[in-house]
Structure 1
Amino acid sequence: MARSQVSSEERIFSLVLALVASTNGLTKHELLSSVYGYADRYNDAGQRVALDRQFERDKEQLRSLGIPVETIDSPGEPGNNHLARYRVPKTALEVPHGLEFSDRELMMLRVAALAWREGSLSAEAARALMKLESLGALIDAPRLGVSAGFGATDPAAPALLQAIGQQAEAEFDYQLADRNEPLRRRVMPLQLHRFEGRWHLISYDLERESPRVFLLSRIVGAVSVRVGSSTWNELPAAIETLIEEAVSGLQRLQEQQRVAVRVKPGSIAETALLSRSDSIQHGDEDCEIQFGTVDLPELATEIAGFGTEVTVLDPPSLQQLVRERFEAALELHSATRVENAHA
């Protein structure tokens, strides 16, 4: 298969199989020269540095999925990365002893995991899929008469994952909350990162020449992936450093931008917002919750959806944003009533 046809999912899965199958572990040379998705580029000297970096990123991705990649140092030369061996303990992907599923249960779990993966890009779903496949649950979802991709709220995700896997540039229109027209952005996508329950793209902005974070739900229209135009090796710092810088920026903003709301006990709003709180005061008839947030407009939209279950106490800017959403909903409702009356 040509290199352009090897998806990042295929490469990652092939790497897991190799790491699990080896009892004593495999060296980086053995993995890169034999694993599907690496081997076709291994003999190209010009690709060696990029391939090495990709392997390091893939290892970290496996660890983020909860798959422990063990590093075994060479007894003669501890610390030598060329002689170190890598493996994944077989127990890491085993279903707990005594737990069994019928064929129908396996089928339903497979469909659920596929839908979860496609809809939310969940790490838990990816890990569940690997365990199910180890049990033989290789179900062809389209043949079941259902779509495994339903519920996807971020249509930009597949193209961005493709760009990350191929180390390619991407262009898209980005709609800021305070602008009428979207802005065009040209970036090197680095990672999809979930923060405050929303998916963000961590990238290096090629126009601004700095790490930038974009909310996936604000990417409008199609994402253009420029395969073959990679400037990955020209980035000013290691990928991990750029990602850490971007995530640290999100965390700082979350700490600085504080929110206080009052919610009705037992409401859906209380359930949704309590998980974010770092300060809770329970009263006789209400509950005050405080937390930090990176995106006031997105939070305002969410809070407006809870209706009277939430009252914003602070900051005033969030109160205004929520008020604007209620007014917009009222205006739309009034216009619909007038239109129906004249129909």
Structure 2
Amino acid sequence: MTDTPARLLNLLSLLQTPREWPGSELAERLDVTPRTIRRDIDRLRDLGYPVEATRGSIGGYRLVAGSAMPPLLLDDEEAVAIAVGLRAGAGHAIEGVDEASVRALAKLEQVLPARLRHRVSSLQNATVPLTRGDGATIDPRTLTAIASAVTGRERLRFAYRSGDGTDSRRQTEPYRLVSTGSRWYLVAYDMDREDWRTFRVDRVSEPFATGSRFTPRELPTGDGDAAGFFARSMSRTQSELHIDVTFRAPAGFVTARLPSTLGAVEPTGEQSCRLRTASSDSLEWVALRLALVDCEFEAHGPAQLVEYLSGLGARLSRAASSGPGSSGPGAVSGSGAVPPTS
């Protein structure tokens, strides 16, 4: 193998297998001399790949962890698996899957061959997740298009539907993507309105990077903190719910079942805890999250939350009492067992 770049790539691919490779075996695999292998190992080290060598009759070479992240080589199956995983996480705005994950997906999909992109899309389209996120699902292609425009500092055009159903076309200078755990938002400068705006990404469609480059403007806050700017802008447009709830369960149990965005619970006893926090999320979403903790709880406020929970409880009771085999108001039939699958 006389093509040095191709040989280096093949050598790197072998070294990324988690094992120690004798120099003689590498030379045989690549059809070169052991001396050439030693030179190629030095070239990989110069490129930032931490290759460790051991001496002796059973010595060899191994790729180890280093202080920096060097480029990785992936085979077809590995690339497809990573792309599908990143798409699934990004599309449901799972807490902890933030802008870095979307940037990684954008980079990966940019270099995927067409045949692998088709495999990724086919697999995702044929798969239905058992559980979904609390927020609206998002086409990962929308996220990657936005992330690419943010990274490349390209002006972005898209169609947008506001909360009241009004459709519009926007031309923006995208600044950052912000994940709240339940939804994705875009912080951008709206060129037509000559002001900063935040856009819910699940309401964005037909994103198109124009290719026109721009120098990012300074946020009004002056600190470059897109998450802080987003939080302040949302607090101006939404009235906060000042939540006060007592749970009849240990604090650890409740904490594991509540999104961290709702704040921390305070232990009030071995079998009780209290949540006092302010949230700009919707009343319906907060009520659902409280119910999903799956323990007894008492809402002290605000009044609209107490009223909504009361109505929700009544509706659920009516739904249970009207099921097949019910024996009257408030009766619940069945064991709750999941039917067997064939």
Q: Normalising to structure 2: TM-score of the pair?
A: 0.47
Q: Which has the larger radius of gyration?
A: 2
Structure number having the greater helix percentage: 1
